[in-house]
Chains A and B, each alone.
Chain A
Amino acid sequence: MNENGALVHLKEVRKAYRTPAGDALALRGIDLQIRQGEFVAVVGKSGAGKSTLINMVTGIDRPTSGEICVGSNAIHGMSEDQIAAWRGRYVGVILQFFRLLPMLTCVQNVMMPMDFANVYRSPRERRARALYLLERVGIAEHADKVPAAVSGGQRQRVAIARALANDPMLLAADEPTGNLDSKTAGAMFEIFQALVDEGKTILLVTHDRDLAARAARRVHIADGRIVDRPDQEREVRRDLHA
């Protein structure tokens, strides 16, 4: 927790990408705070900057300027290596395309973050926890199967279990239901809700407004800026092109 009580604090965060046509601003001075136990959905159209925002919070990408604090860590000043270690221990990341290692079984995929962070010291303990997590997401019976042998929805459940491996303080999910049908997407959301009920903090990026509506709080982002309401997008665009 940082000094103002927020778990995640972004201050004047900007992100610019170099292109042959010049710098493209993906984030234009984002200020955002997320408290512990919140379930926050970041919504916006394609190209609005949602994924860039979540990448800033998880340390996957680095801001061009601004400050990012997660817990008591100012991650904007960390090296790539430090961030990786920090992320493994304190942030669970769930991505749209699952990103499981194809040669490992589901339970091995869940155990891997524990092995890198060296938590739950004995391998037996790690396996037990991995099986517990798979049970929690409802696919314990597929523990010893490789990802190619299970469905997309089941793979996403494994990814969720993996994200929970080291009991992180923050779960960050970038379009976790983007590759799933609506029924499966709904089931995913139930899992997220259950985690929130247990006190987890979840930051979710989605373009699906219906799903976003089920989150406790929605943050609308348009053209790299946080807007208060969706209908403010048009104003933002007009301002930008004026």
Chain B
Amino acid sequence: MLTTPWQKVLIDLWEHRVRTLIVALAIAVGVFAVGVVLNTREILVREYRRDQTSAQVASAIVYTAPFQEDLADSIARLPMVAAAEGRTLVQGRVYRGTGVPQDLVLIVVPDFANMRVDAITPLAGAYPPGRGEVVLEQRSFEDLGTQIGQELSVELNNDATRTLKVVGSIHDPEQFAPALSGVAVGYVTLETLQGLGYPETWAELRIRVTEPAHDERHILAALSQVEDRLKESGRTILSRKVITRAVADPFIDSIVLILTGFGLVILVLSGFLVINAISALITQQIPQIGVMKLIGARRWQIMRLYLATVLIYGLLAVAVALPLAAFTARLLMTDMVEKLLNVMPLSYSIPVPLLVIQVAVGLLLPLGAGLAPVIRGTSVTTQRALTDIGLGGGVYGHSLFERGLARLQKALSIQRPLLLAIRNTLRHKGRLAQTLVVLIFGTALFVSVLSVRASVTATLASFMRFHRYDVSVEMKQPELVARLEQAAREVPGVVDVEIWSSGRATRVRPDDSKSNVFNVVAVPAGTTFMDPELVAGLPLPAGSAAAGPEAGVARASARASARALAPTPGAQPNPVVVNSDLVDDERDLRVGSDLVLDINGRKATWHVVGIVSTESRGPAVYVSRDDFAYATRAPGQGMYVQVRTAQHDAAAQHLLAARLYDHFEAAGLKVNGTETAEVTQQENVLLFTVVVTFLILMALLLAAVGGLGLATTMSINMMERVREVGILRAIGASNVSVRQIVLAEGIAMAVISWAVGTALSFFTSPIFSRELGLALIKIPLRYQYSFAAAGIWFFILLAIAAAASLGPARAAVRLTVREVLAYE
């Protein structure tokens, strides 16, 4: 049977259920934040790494002349090569029931049963696929609108349309979901490739080097051996791609960064919240502490009662937060990470040590936060405790602030009740400071997180500056520019047309080493279909394009021409504009540098005239279409038809894309694919969706901490001032006046913290935006402050202040004056 002091503890917890709930919630927020961070990070990193390890991700991809498997076997026997396999990729498209085509890549695999590089994992159905059969990446089924057992009609880039039977699903951790990548993925055998009308050869060599398999220097050394072996076989490396990071690594790193950083902040703020709540609890208990001391309780006896109370708060918090954190972590994984980043967890289990850590946080956080208030509260003398009637002590009117307040009251004729509210706010300076710390940081971080979201939106808008058109039609082969333009203009709805070209290139460095392959985008002089932000230097000059037939294309709005790749007289030969991604990889590049490019086996020297921002598709260079035509010996030809319409909504764009496709095909112009700007935008949006979702979750947690902080302080303030309310009413204050005083106090705290927090957010927001951008896309985000977030948070705080104040105030004014004055 419990003794009466312990019975008091339990009765107190139950009788003051609201307070118990508030304090337990304050602790639970911190435990939940820690739990979500630890659990999500554990599952994410563990399962991602396991996924990657099981896939035996390639260290490099080498492109050379078509080859047979024996070459791959020969490469695999090199000392620094752990495994080498051939792959061929076939582009195609599938027309779904909706009529909107879905791009499809078929990856040809030499030996499904014994993959040692970029391995895939069978999930369901038949494996390996047979002749005329395909297994699809699990995330591709929905986008293709198909199921296992159904047939897929695939329009291939060799003009053939073939039917493949879908026999199974697999998991390839190197492929994002089509919603993110824009491409569905399927896997077929070499036999099937031959049946599709392609030669039974390999187009790329996938190599996994010995450990460390993703160390750049080690990979380059191994590639040197590979190159020697290829030379022996009479081949050269056409281009290559060194893989030091998995495709999802930047996302994973960003998510971990967000989780860790914000989780820590939320834990600290939650700690302040708990200190505040327990301080207020102890303050309210002072008279009872006095009574216990009066009847013989020693300090340690009282301390253990309140520490036990705090521990029970912690247990309640853990009971709620622990399972909720586990559930939330799993939800984040299944609904976000798995679907978009295509991570396939085998287990969502949380190791016992992590659970122990969360329980420890739930118990130690309140104990740590409560120790000082408990020590302080139980050290009060019996006499002081018995004479404390909740009206505070001290002398009023001497401090600088109080004298200032008195002057202000005279100057502005502030009514005394309002003055009382302001003074009350400052009565418990320690508690006020703790509350304000929570609210200020909560405000600053909330606004910062939403500013990051606004920055993401602004950044995505800057990406779309590379795509100032509605529809892009990609041809299967280069066609005459004039013919393409004429055909495009014949389609109803087309307002403007530009013909672009593109290719792949590598940089030949001064030491004759080669870079990874990157894109070359060739645009007409004075293009208005692209106006990326210039980071340094100048846009592309016109060069010889000014005299050509395409000069008529250089029509631009006054604003666009200021930014567009506009003609500039006196241009150097072969001017090129590079993007910031390429500059990050090739750090010696500057405006004015000479850049030797190997395009389709032809080397030429180009002159860097400008650097533009990135659109997150990796390194790229931008050249004049005429210069590109000369470099590739394909004059007057283009590969891409960029089209503008009168209406820019998604439906109009899709309709025009279909019309263009049909018209071009009817005209004998073979189309490889079409893409609308809306789809391009969606892919970019999804790129950030995962990260922004985590940011918003953190913002919501911060809002909860901040709001709870204010609610805690206001509620407990009211609880300990019931007697003050009675005195006010005894001297004539109406219920309305009492409510006004209380409300003014809450609003004062909300306004002060909002103002300071918002000011702080002007410093924190750009830092967060920059760091997230660097982590995710290697460039700072295009910073944009979210005034809307500051406004929203202001009203949230006011609402919380009102709710937290008026509830207890209403309860207090319901008591009779006699009752409140006798309140114990």
* Interface set of A (CB-CB < 8 Å, partner B): 20, 55, 59-61, 80-81, 83-85, 87-89, 93, 95, 97, 99-104, 108-109, 111-113, 115-117, 123, 162, 165-166
- When distances are taken between beta carbons in the complex, the residues of chain B under 8 Å from A55 are 383
A90 to chain B, nearest CB (A): 9
**C-alpha gap A85/B4 in the complex (Å):** 17
- Docked Cα-Cα span, A89 to B4, in Å, equals 17
Shortest beta-carbon distance from A159 to chain B in Å: 10
Interchain CB contact under 8 A, B381 and A115: no
Bound-complex Cα distance A237 to B382 (A): 31
Q: Does B297 contact A (CB under 8 A)?
A: yes
CB-nearest residue of chain A to B379: A80
5 nearest CB pairs, A to B: A88-B296, A115-B3, A113-B295, A116-B296, A103-B11
Contact between B294 and A115, CB atoms less than 8 A apart = no
Q: Tell me which residues across on chain A come within 8 A of B8, comparing CB atoms.
A: 101, 103-104, 108, 112
Pairwise interchain contact A84-B298, C-beta atoms closer than 8 A = yes
A80 touches B382 (CB 8 A): yes
With contact pairs A113-B296, A116-B295, A166-B296 given, residues A60 and B5 touching in the complex (Cβ less than 8 Å): no
| Interface of B: prevailing SS | helix
B292 at the interface (CB under 8 A from A): yes
Nearest CB in chain B: distance from A20 CB, A = 6
B291 is an interface residue with CB less than 8 A from chain A: yes
- B296 and A81 form a contact (CB under 8 A): no
Q: State whether the Cβ of B113 lies closer than 8 Å to any Cβ in chain A.
A: no
Q: With A104-B4, A116-B292 in contact, is A88–B297 under 8 Å at CB?
A: yes
Q: Are A104 and B296 in contact (CB under 8 A)?
A: no
B residues contacting the other copy or chain, number (CB 8 A): 28
Q: Mark B9-44, 1 if CB is under 8 A from A, else 0.
A: 001100100000000000000000000000000000
Check: B792 CB closer than 8 A to any chain A CB.
no
State A85–B301 Cα separation when bound (angstroms).
Answer: 10
B776 to A: closest C-beta gap in Å:
55
Taken together as a complex, chains A and B put the C-alpha atoms of A99 and B301 apart, in Å, by 19
Verify A84–B4 contact, CB threshold 8 A: no
Q: CB < 8 Å: which of B4, B7, B15, B386 contacts A99? A: B386
Number of A-B contacts (CB under 8 A): 85
Contact of B4 among A97, A112, A117 (CB under 8 A): A112
Cα–Cα distance between A103 and B11 once the two chains are bound (Å): 7
Q: Is the CB of A81 within 8 A of B298?
A: yes
Asked if B590 is an interface residue, CB under 8 A from chain A, the answer is: no
- Find out whether the CB atom of B297 lies under 8 angstroms from the CB atom of A84: yes
Bound state CA distance, A83 and B383, in angstroms? Answer: 12
Closest to A123 in B: B1
Known: A61-B383, A101-B291. 19 other contacts (CB 8 A): A59-B382, A60-B294, A84-B294, A84-B296, A84-B297, A85-B296, A85-B298, A93-B294, A95-B294, A99-B824, A100-B824, A102-B824, A103-B11, A104-B4, A104-B7, A112-B8, A116-B296, A116-B301, A123-B3
Per the bound structure, the CA–CA distance linking A80 and B297 in Å amounts to 11
Chain A residue contacts of B386, Cβ below 8 A: 60, 95, 99
Q: Which chain A residues border B12 with CB–CB below 8 Å?
A: 103
Bound form: Cα–Cα A93–B382 in Å: 12
Contact (Cβ within 8 A) B383 A99: no
In the complex, residue of chain B having the shortest beta-carbon distance to the beta carbon of A86: B296
Give Cα A2–Cα B824 distance, bound, in whole angstroms: 38
Does B293 lie at the interface of the complex (its beta carbon under 8 Å from any beta carbon of A)?
Answer: yes
Interface pairs (22), CB distance under 8 Å: A59-B382, A80-B299, A80-B381, A81-B299, A84-B294, A84-B296, A84-B297, A84-B298, A87-B296, A88-B295, A97-B822, A99-B386, A101-B8, A103-B8, A112-B4, A115-B4, A115-B5, A116-B292, A116-B296, A116-B298, A123-B1, A162-B295
Known: A88-B295, A113-B295. A20 touches B395 (CB 8 A): yes
Closest to B381 in A: A80
Q: Contact at B15–A112, with CB atoms within 8 Å?
A: no
CB-based contact B15/A84 at 8 Å: no
CA A79 to CA B762, docked complex, whole Å: 53
List, in ascending order, chain B residues with CB within 8 A of A166's CB.
Answer: 296
Q: A113-B295, A116-B295 are in contact. Are A103 and B15 (CB under 8 A)?
A: yes
Residues from chain B with a CB closer than 8 A to the CB of A101 are 8, 288, 291-292
CB distance from B811 to the nearest CB of A (A): 16
Write the chain A residue with the least CB distance to B819: A148
Which chain A residue has the least Cβ–Cβ distance from B297?
A: A116
Q: Kindly state the separation between the CA atoms of A89 and B296 in the bound complex, as whole angstroms.
A: 7
Bound-complex Cα distance A163 to B291 (A): 12
Q: Report the minimal beta-carbon distance from B148 to chain A, rounded to whole angstroms.
A: 66
Contacting A at CB under 8 A, from B271-309, are 288, 290-299, 301
Q: How far is the CB of B288 from chain A (nearest CB, A)?
A: 6
Residues in A whose Cβ lies below 8 Å from that of B7: 104, 108
In the bound complex, do residue B297 and residue A60 qualify as a contact, i.e. CB atoms below 8 Å apart? Answer: no
- Given contact pairs A101-B291, A115-B3, A116-B296, A84 touches B382 in the complex (Cβ within 8 A): yes
Q: How many Å lie between the Cα of A104 and that of B12 in the bound state?
A: 9
A100 CA to B294 CA in the complex, in Å?
A: 11
Tell me if B296 and A60 are in contact (CB < 8 A).
no
Q: How far is the CB of B281 from chain A (nearest CB, A)?
A: 14
Q: Which residues of B contact A113 (CB under 8 A)?
A: 295-296
A108: B residues at CB distance < 8 A:
4, 7-8
Q: How far is the CA of A162 from the CA of B301 in the complex (A)?
A: 19
Contacts of A117 in B (CB 8 A): 296
Residue of A nearest to B15 (CB): A103
Residue among A88, A117, A166 with most chain B CB within 10 A: A88
The CB with the most chain B CB atoms within 10 A, among A99, A102, A116, A162, is that of A116
| B residues less than 8 Å from A115 (CB atoms) | 3-5
- Report the Cα distance A89→B298, complex, angstroms: 12
Q: Measured between alpha carbons, how far is A116 from B299 in the docked complex, in Å?
A: 11
Among residues 377 to 417 in chain B, which have CB atoms less than 8 Å away from a CB atom of chain A? 381-383, 386, 395
Q: Are B11 and A99 closer than 8 Å at their CB atoms?
A: no
Contact B11 A104 (CB under 8 A): yes
The minimal Cβ–Cβ distance linking B269 to chain A, given in whole angstroms, is 32
CA distance A102 to B823 in the complex (A): 10
* B4, A87: Cβ atoms closer than 8 Å: no
A113 and B293 CA atoms in complex are apart in Å by 10
The answer for the CA separation of A100 and B288 in the assembled complex, in Å, is: 9
